Amino acid sequence: MPLTDAQIKALKPIPGKRYSRADGAGLLLDITPGGVRSWVFRYRLSGKREKVVIGHYPEVSLKEARAERDRQAAKVRAGVSPFREQKLKRAGLSTDPTLSEFGDRYYKEQVEKNLKDPKQVRRYLDSEIYPKLGGRKLKEITALDIQALVYRKRDHGRAAAAMRLRMVLKQVFDYGIELQLVPMNPAAMVAPRYIGKATRRNRNLSPEEIREYIQVVYASNMRRQFKLALHILLLTLVRKSMLLGARWRDVNYDSGEWNIPKENMKARKGEEREHVVYMSTQVQDLFRELQELASESEYVLPGRNTIARPFAKNALNKALEGLSFNMQHFTIHDLRRTASTQLREHGWSEDVVEKALSHEKGGVAGIYNRAEYAGERKRMLQWWANYVDRTLRQSEPKVVIGNFRNSESA
């Protein structure tokens, strides 16, 4: 039977015992041994029992408690957890955030904790998502809003970037569903098949294109550090991020080794391994010139405005994009594929090439094959640097890049 005000006033605390009286439809009045009387709403959501405290009697009257129970019950029918909302409020978190508010929370709680390099997600949030949708309430954003944002990038010929943009948005809303802030994921309703297909890249430069690449780079007016860096990337097979994060403490001219610490390697957190690049005589000379240009910086490639940080991640990409080549489009990453392809075509072992690329074998083979192939890698990288030099010497006019040593004994 529903409670009455007279019944509530007649309820007395029981020493050493907590008890409750039901009003109906999940509303209870809880009485503590100390005489505190609290309204509690109990309900089931997705098969789980939950409860929230509505307020204390008599500050919250019976009529007010029933009205609040009905409001909370409507949320439950819509799939929203009043208990989770109450928990968020106590933690100082919004229960009805804007996309930018929740995006920052998602970045802090999920991206920074789980991704080794979270900067790309940060750029998508700040540069692509927030300017268009950041001020909108998370629960008000529709599939059409996200489709417009994603399709705009697709229609500018950036299908791969559009796919990544959709994925970031989908992950944000997935976390919103997990925290019961939104009932559905509008990004999941934007079908990937209408955005574009991810294509496997197989671009690698021919010897003639390698020659043109070096010619155009050194004939350009880009910064000298960029010219040397783009040359090093071709000769060492490393990823761009490895070079941008390099510090002088890791470069040893006596042993001819450049040590790349595990934090600069591309891998999941906890799975990184150090990598050693055996520097050819040409690469050592390139590093020596970079060291002169780096002044007192600890970084091999210190930034334009400060020596305390390296150049931005996209600086080399922008420098390369500003050049005009008389050949099919290629990217910095294609330089790794170029070296890998040429080395295999000239008879170098796949295992040695893969190790130089810092690729680790998967499965059982990866567990048992921990060989470093140090001697073979030294000879191979010196051979590769000499090969590129011979390719350049075939050019007319000659490419002027610097006074670099060539070890033809390799």
| 31-67 pLDDT, tens digit each | 998 889 999 999 998 888 999 898 899 899 999 999 9
Mean pLDDT computed over every residue of the chain: 86
CATH number of the 5-90 domain: 3.30.160.390
Tell me what pLDDT residue 366 has. Answer: 42
Give yes or no for a contact between 391 and 211, defined as CB atoms under 8 angstroms apart.
yes
Give yes or no for a contact between 243 and 230, defined as CB atoms under 8 angstroms apart.
no
The fold of 99-194 is DNA polymerase; domain 1 (1.10.150)
Task: Assign 186 a pLDDT band (cuts: 50, 70, 90).
Answer: very high
Which of 99-109 are b and which e, b meaning 16 or more Cβ less than 10 Å from the residue's Cβ? bbbbbbbbbee
Distance of alpha carbon 297 from alpha carbon 294, whole angstroms: 6
Mean pLDDT of 261-274: 65
- Tell me which of 265 and 19 has the higher pLDDT: 19
Tell me what pLDDT residue 368 has. Answer: 36
Q: Does 168 have pLDDT greater than 60?
A: yes
Q: Which residues contact 91 (CB under 8 A, 6 or more apart)?
A: none
- Quick one: tokens of 25? 């439809």
Q: Where are the domains of the chain?
A: 5-90, 99-194, 207-393
Q: What is the DSSP string of 189-235?
A: GS-GGGT--PPPP-----HHHHHHHHHHHHHS-S-HHHHHHHHHHHH
Give the SS3 label for residue 54.
strand
Q: Which residue carries 């959709």 as its tokens?
A: 166
With 0-12 CB in 10 A as exposed, 13-18 as middle and 19+ as buried, what is 173?
buried
- Quick one: tokens of 102? 């929740």
Task: Assign 304 a pLDDT band (cuts: 50, 70, 90).
Answer: confident
The architecture that CATH gives domain 207-393 is: Orthogonal Bundle (1.10)
Tell me what pLDDT residue 381 has. Answer: 96
Q: Does 274 have pLDDT greater than 50?
A: yes
